[in-house]
Amino acid sequence: MDATTSDRDGPDVCVIVPTIREYECLREYVANAREHEFDLSRLHFVLVTEDFCDVDEMRDMLNELDVSGGVFDGTRREEWYEANGVAEYDHLVPAASHAETSFGLLYMWADESFEYGVFIDDDTLPHDDINYFGRHMENLAFGGEIECARSDEHWVNVLYQNADEHGLYPRGYPYAAMDETVETDSVAVESGEVVASQGLWTNVPDLDAVRILMDGDLEGQAQTRTTADDFERDFVAGRGDYLTVCSMNLAFRREVIPAFYQLPMDDNEWDVGRFDDIWSGLFLKRASDVLGKRIYNGDPLCEHNKAPRSTFDDLANEVAGLELNEHVWKVIDGVGDDADSYADAFAEMADALAEGEFSEWNNGAFLNHCGEYMRDWLDCLDAVSRTPAVADD
- Would you list the DSSP string of 285-329? HHHHHHTT-EEEEEEEEEEE-PPP--HHHHHHHHHHHHHHHHHHH
Q: pLDDT at position 267, please?
A: 84
State the DSSP code for 247.
T
Q: pLDDT at position 393, please?
A: 53
Q: What is the DSSP string of 321-372?
A: HHHHHHHHHHHHTTTTTT--SHHHHHHHHHHHHHT---TTSTTTHHHHHHHH
Helix pair angle (342-354, 311-332), 10° resolution: 110
State pTM to two decimals.
Answer: 0.95
Q: pLDDT at position 195, please?
A: 98
Nearest to 378 by CA among 53, 92, 77, 58: 92
Could you list the beta-strand ranges (E) of 139-265. 144-151, 155-156, 182-189, 194-203, 235-237, 242-243, 249-253
Q: What type of residue is 347?
A: A
Q: pLDDT at position 266, please?
A: 87
Assess whether the previous peptide bond of 300 is cis (omega < 30° from 0): yes
Domains by residue range for the chain, with CATH: 13-323 (3.90.550.10)
Query: What tens-digit pLDDT sequence spans the chain (393 residues)?
Result: 455 555 557 899 999 999 998 999 999 999 999 999 999 999 999 999 999 999 999 999 999 999 999 999 999 999 999 999 999 999 999 988 899 999 999 999 999 999 999 999 999 999 999 999 999 999 999 999 999 999 999 999 999 999 999 999 999 999 999 999 999 999 999 999 999 999 999 999 999 999 999 998 999 999 999 999 999 999 999 999 999 999 999 999 999 999 999 999 988 999 999 999 999 999 999 999 999 999 999 999 999 999 999 999 999 999 999 999 999 999 999 999 999 999 999 999 999 999 999 999 999 999 999 999 999 999 999 999 887 655 555
